[in-house]
């Protein structure tokens, strides 16, 4: 449900992130629906204010907190209906993890935090009427609208149907981030203690098991090892397509083509030569700082 539910938090500058889902914190306090907008606004504005200060730009903290809180509260209220419930613990976990990653006011990293996708909980079962995909109870379901009657029904997405969780060496068909991201399934554990992969389901390799699919489930590639795509590499690395080697992100000043190639997650395409850009820290504008919001 991450992509269905995270739009309400989308008030970020472009700071493209690369990497797998981050692990959820275990000691976060629950956040009520009333407290969540203010908590997120504090993270956004404190982060944005710090960048404005470093850039020697005037920052309107009061306006930022007021505007962000109001905007988030309105979006939150729009999301919650009689068919969509609020998970206070997931909200607390989301904010606790987001605090580690918000950058110059950007909340884009929320898309990589599993707890942020669990704040809104759909309650409509597959086959029942719906008006929005967020209402559907299954992570793999969406609200399909009939073109004639315009009535919606929660249906299970074929693209995200359950998969068998492959082990190292198993023949595979796809990659999965984790069980939540593509309906992972493990058959009951037999007496031998080893889960049996169901032959009736497509086999996927789970990144949380440090595996990726390359015909068979194989260990994620380490720095200096060959790769075809960044999903082949361990967390924190990317696949340099010029050399087909898993590589550590570059420091500020290095040439880049995309943000995931940089330690700062930001590739400034206006400062490089030719079609390349330059790795640089996230930046803010005088207008963003003066307005107190993104």
Asked if 88 and 173 sit in the same domain, the reply is: no
Q: Which range in 24-33, 211-220, 232-241, 275-284 is most confidently predicted, on average pLDDT?
A: 211-220
Residue 114: count other Cβ atoms within 10 Å of its Cβ.
19
Q: How far is CA 259 from the centre of its chain?
A: 15
Asked if 16 and 102 sit in the same domain, the reply is: yes
Averaged pLDDT for residues 141-164: 82
> What's residue 5's pLDDT?
42
Asked if 156 and 169 sit in the same domain, the reply is: no
pLDDT at 26 over 60: no
> What's residue 14's pLDDT?
28
Asked whether residue 282 is domain-assigned, the answer is no
In total, how many domains does the chain have?
A: 3
> What's residue 11's pLDDT?
36
Asked whether residue 264 is domain-assigned, the answer is no
Asked if 67 and 110 sit in the same domain, the reply is: yes
Cβ–Cβ < 8 Å for 99, 130: no
- CA dist 91 and 5 (Å) reads 12
Asked if 71 and 180 sit in the same domain, the reply is: no
Asked if 85 and 178 sit in the same domain, the reply is: no
> What's residue 273's pLDDT?
60
> What's residue 13's pLDDT?
30
Asked whether residue 55 is domain-assigned, the answer is yes
Q: Domain boundary residue among 58, 90, 121?
A: 121
- CA dist 1 and 117 (Å) reads 6
Asked if 12 and 28 sit in the same domain, the reply is: yes
Asked if 142 and 210 sit in the same domain, the reply is: no
Asked whether residue 287 is domain-assigned, the answer is no
Asked whether residue 223 is domain-assigned, the answer is yes
pLDDT at 217 over 50: yes
Confidence of residue 235 (pLDDT cuts 50, 70, 90): confident
- CA dist 287 and 4 (Å) reads 31
Share of the chain above pLDDT 70, in %: 77
Confidence of residue 131 (pLDDT cuts 50, 70, 90): very high
Q: In terms of pLDDT, which residue wins out, 162 or 136? A: 136
Q: What is the mean pLDDT of the chain?
A: 79
> What's residue 148's pLDDT?
86
Asked if 103 and 141 sit in the same domain, the reply is: no
Cβ–Cβ < 8 Å for 248, 225: no
Cβ–Cβ < 8 Å for 122, 134: yes
Confidence of residue 275 (pLDDT cuts 50, 70, 90): low
Asked if 100 and 153 sit in the same domain, the reply is: no
Asked whether residue 289 is domain-assigned, the answer is no
Averaged pLDDT for residues 261-289: 74
Q: Domain boundary residue among 90, 121, 152?
A: 121
Q: CA distances (Å), 275 to each of 36, 228, 269, 270, in order?
A: 42, 22, 8, 9
Asked if 244 and 169 sit in the same domain, the reply is: yes
Asked whether residue 283 is domain-assigned, the answer is no
Per DSSP bridges, beta strands 163-165 and 184-185 are: parallel
Range of the domain at 186: 163-248
Asked whether residue 138 is domain-assigned, the answer is yes
Asked if 68 and 117 sit in the same domain, the reply is: yes
């Amino acid at each position: 449900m991450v992509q269905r539910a995270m739009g309400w938090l989308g008030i970020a500058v472009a700071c493209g992130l690369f990497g797998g889902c981050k692990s959820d914190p275990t000691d976060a306090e629950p956040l009520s629906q009333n407290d969540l907008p203010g908590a997120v606004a504090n993270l956004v504005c404190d982060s944005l204010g710090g960048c404005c200060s470093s850039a020697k730009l005037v920052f309107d903290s009061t306006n930022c907190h007021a505007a962000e809180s109001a905007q988030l509260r309105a979006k939150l209220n729009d999301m919650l209906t009689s068919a969509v419930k609020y998970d206070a613990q997931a909200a607390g976990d989301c904010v606790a993890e987001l605090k580690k990653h918000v950058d110059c006011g950007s909340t884009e990293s929320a898309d990589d935090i599993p707890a942020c996708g669990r704040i809104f909980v759909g309650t409509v079962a597959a086959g029942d009427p719906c008006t929005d995909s967020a209402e559907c109870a299954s992570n793999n379901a969406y609200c399909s609208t009939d073109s004639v009657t315009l009535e919606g029904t929660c249906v299970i997405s074929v693209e995200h149907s359950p998969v068998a969780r492959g082990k190292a060496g198993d023949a595979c068909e796809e990659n999965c981030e984790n069980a939540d991201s593509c309906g992972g399934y493990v058959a009951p554990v037999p007496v031998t203690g080893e889960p049996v992969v169901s032959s009736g389901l497509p086999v996927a390799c789970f990144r949380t098991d440090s595996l990726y699919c390359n015909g068979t489930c194989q260990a994620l590639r380490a720095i200096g090892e060959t790769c075809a795509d960044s999903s082949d590499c361990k967390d924190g690395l990317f696949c340099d397509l010029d050399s087909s080697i898993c590589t550590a992100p570059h420091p500020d000043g290095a040439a880049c083509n995309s943000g995931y190639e940089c330690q700062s997650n930001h590739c400034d395409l206006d400062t490089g030569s030719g079609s390349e850009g330059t790795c640089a820290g996230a930046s803010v504008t005088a207008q963003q700082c003066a307005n107190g919001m993104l």
